[in-house]
Structure 1
């Protein structure tokens, strides 16, 4: 989805609440502002202060520079969920790997198949683009998400450890 890769066509999923369309988000998409509002809600959900203007600007820049690609689930003209992805080189395979960075469904739309549809949309597009794999990470106590991911076919990666180094503010590395 990023790095010049775009989702194929939007896909749809039916539900008793109506049809949901999965559409790639660009900064010029008619519902981009609603997408930014939901992304800000997502940040608040994870403990960040609301910052709608900054969120909108950040998303616009990330999408425009192809650092991040996004798709939104739209039902009855309302953005009810989204997924973001980065594409990275898979150097040992001489290919690419897609990394799901964010997946969020508005509380009123959970358990309606939207998260599943967003995930499958990305997996389908990654396969169409020739990606070697799709990866994601979540908290170990996020049982609903882990259940969804494993039901779709994601598996834990044994033998790898996630390490982080905070560089804000920038620091000198010896």
Structure 2
């Protein structure tokens, strides 16, 4: 009989796979939407960071799936061995936590899929971004943070939007 916590662990690992799959669909949709636009603002560094984190998470998800079906990776071939089960559990839970952090990272980066400029004006989510109506909270060589009443707009240095906004200020 399979221990109950092993079933829960397997559910966690399948949840990691589902999160990874949803994130991949989101990335593909976002990049197609961005790269098909004439005025694109996503830099290749940003693209590389997203692809790199996606591949790292894919490797971890595959390893955690293999751990369920091939326990020899994390100990001996006996799944009933306590140390093997603990190794699989630690790895599966860590993969789930990393998948959740990865999807949070992707959701924070979603603004870059909706940014474009046209006629020397910057647009977020299809509406004009007026710098005069947004208060600058932080402006340094790494990040720009604007605040509009409740919402914050965070723009990192490696995006073309950062370069566009900083050159327009000077």
TM-score of Structure 1 vs Structure 2, range by shorter chain:
under 0.3
TM-score by length of 2: 0.26
TM-score by length of 1: 0.25
Answer 1 or 2: which has greater strand percent.
Answer: 1
Answer 1 or 2: which has greater helix percent.
Answer: 2
